[in-house]
Structure 1
Amino acid sequence: MIPIKADTATREGYVRNIVETFRAASKDQEARGRHWYRTAHEVADMMTDGDVRTGAGLLAALSPQTAWPLNVELARNAYETKQPSGHLGDALAKAAKILAGADPSEVLPMDRKTGHFYRCILDPTDADAVCIDRHAHDIAVGEEYGSRDRGLGAKNRYALIAHCYREAAQRLGELPSVVQSVTWVVWRDRLVGTSTRGTEFNKQV
C-alpha cells in the first residue's frame, strides 16, 4: 500500500500520471467517460420514477464488488420489491435504511468510495466528489496492483488520491468526476487489451 502521508514529489507524480492518462484518451474513450455519470443519473431517475436521491443511494450502497449491470439490477429490484437482496449483509442493511427513508448521506461512508459514488450519480456537476476505486488508485500510482490490497478503506489514503484527482482536474479545466471516469475508461481499455477481462464499468473498493 502507498503511504498515507506522501511528500510533494510523490503527490506531483500521482497528479502527472492522472493528467497523462486523461490526455491519452481517444475521442471515443473521452466521450464514454464524459457521459458515464450523466447516464448513471438518468438510470437512478428512471428506476425510481424521479426519486433520484433514493436511486443514487441504492446504486451506491449496492455497488461494492459488483459490475454495473448487476448493480443496476440489484438496485432496481430493491426499489420495486422494497426488499434488498443479492449482496452482502452490510450493503443490504444500508440499502434497507435508504428504502426506509434515510438520507443516503447519513447511511453511506461519505468520506470514501460509496459516498462519493453516490454524490457523483446524484449530481454529475458536483465540483468536489470523486469516486476512487481500485482503477482510479492504480492510475494515480502508475501501477496495476491486481489483487493486492490498496488500503482505500483508510479515509486518509482515500483523501490523498482524491486530492490528486482534484488537482489534476484543476489543471485540465475539468470536473474531478470527469477526469476520474475518462481515465477509468482509458485504463480499463488498456487492461482489456492484455487480458480476457470484461469491459463493463465495475466500481470496486
Structure 2
Amino acid sequence: MIPAKPAPKDVARYVANITAAFNRATDDQAARGRQWYPVAHDLALIVGDGNARSGAGIIAALSANKSWSENVRLAKDAGTGNVHGHTGVMLAKVSAIIDGTDPADVLPMEMKTGHFFRCILDPSDPDPVVIDRHAHDVAVGERYGNRDRGLGAKGRYAALAHAYREASLRLDEIPSVVQAITWCVQIDDNTGR
C-alpha cells in the first residue's frame, strides 16, 4: 500500500505514470474515455427519470466494488424501484436519494463516490477526480489485484487526486477525461484487449 502522505518524488512518479498511460491510449481508448462521463450523464437522466442529480447519485452510491456493467444494471433496477444488490448502507443511501434527499447529503463527497457523482452530474467539471482501484493502479504503475489499496484514507485519496490534477495540467485536459482515458487503457490491459 502506498503511503497516506507520499513524498514529492513519489507523487512525481504517479504523475509520470498517469501521463504515460494517457499517452499510450489508442484512438479507440481515447474516444471511449472522452465519452465515458457524458454517456454516464445520459444514463443518470434515465435512472433519475429526467433528474440527472438523482440519477448520478444512485449510480455513484451503487458503484463501490462493482464492475461498470453491474453498476449500470443495479442503477437501472433502482430507477424502477427495485433497490437491491449492495450493502445495507449503500441501499439506504439509494433509497434516501430516490425519496428526495440530495445526493450530496448522503454520499462521502470528499471520496470516490462523491467525486464519481460529480463527474457524472457534470462531465465538464474541472475539479472532481475519481480514484478507484484502476486509477490507483495506473498512478502507482502496478496492478494490485485484490490487495487493499487503502483508498478509504483521505490523505492517500487526496495525494492520488492531486497527481491526476497535475497530470491533467501537463496534458491540457480536465482530470475526469484523463482518469477516464487511463481507465480505458487499464481495463483493456487487465483484460488483454
Match of 1:202 in 2: none
Match of 2:159 in 1: 160
Q: CA deviation at 1:179?
A: 0.3
* Correspondence 1:51-66 to 2 at 5 A: 51-66=51-66
| Secondary structure at 1:105 match in 2 | helix
Given that 2:62 and 2:90 are in contact with CA atoms closer than 8 Å, whether structure 1 keeps it comes out as yes
In the alignment, the residues of structure 1 paired with residue 172 and residue 52 of structure 2 have an alpha-carbon distance, to the nearest angstrom, of 27
| Secondary structure at 2:80 match in 1 | helix
Match of 1:183 in 2: 182
Q: CA deviation at 1:79?
A: 2.3
In the alignment, the residues of structure 1 paired with residue 160 and residue 128 of structure 2 have an alpha-carbon distance, to the nearest angstrom, of 12
| Residues 177-204 of structure 1, C-alpha deviations (whole Å, 9 max, x = no match) | 00001001111111111xxxxx8xxxxx
Aligned residues: 193
Match of 2:20 in 1: 20
Match of 2:103 in 1: 104
Which letter does structure 1 place at the counterpart of 2:20? Answer: E
| Residues 107-143 of structure 1, C-alpha deviations (whole Å, 9 max, x = no match) | 0001111111100100000101111000100110111
| Secondary structure at 1:71 match in 2 | helix
TM-score by length of 2: 0.96
| Residues 65-119 of structure 1, C-alpha deviations (whole Å, 9 max, x = no match) | 22222212222222222x5212111110110111111110110001111111100
In the alignment, the residues of structure 1 paired with residue 185 and residue 79 of structure 2 have an alpha-carbon distance, to the nearest angstrom, of 33
Match of 2:8 in 1: 8
In the alignment, the residues of structure 1 paired with residue 188 and residue 125 of structure 2 have an alpha-carbon distance, to the nearest angstrom, of 26
Match of 2:37 in 1: 37
| Secondary structure at 2:10 match in 1 | helix
In the alignment, the residues of structure 2 paired with residue 118 and residue 25 of structure 1 have an alpha-carbon distance, to the nearest angstrom, of 25
Given that 2:29 and 2:184 are in contact with CA atoms closer than 8 Å, whether structure 1 keeps it comes out as yes
Same amino acid, percent of matched pairs: 56
4+ long deviations beyond 3 Å: none
Pairwise CA RMSD: 1.2
In the alignment, the residues of structure 1 paired with residue 187 and residue 70 of structure 2 have an alpha-carbon distance, to the nearest angstrom, of 18
Given that 2:49 and 2:55 are in contact with CA atoms closer than 8 Å, whether structure 1 keeps it comes out as no
- Tell me which moved more, 26-35 or 47-56: 47-56
| Residues 14-61 of structure 1, C-alpha deviations (whole Å, 9 max, x = no match) | 100000110010101100111000000001112323100000000000
Which letter does structure 2 place at the counterpart of 1:60? Answer: A
Is the counterpart of residue 49 in structure 1 residue 31 in structure 2? no
* Correspondence 1:113-132 to 2 at 5 A: 113-132=112-131
In the alignment, the residues of structure 1 paired with residue 95 and residue 2 of structure 2 have an alpha-carbon distance, to the nearest angstrom, of 34
Given that 2:54 and 2:97 are in contact with CA atoms closer than 8 Å, whether structure 1 keeps it comes out as yes
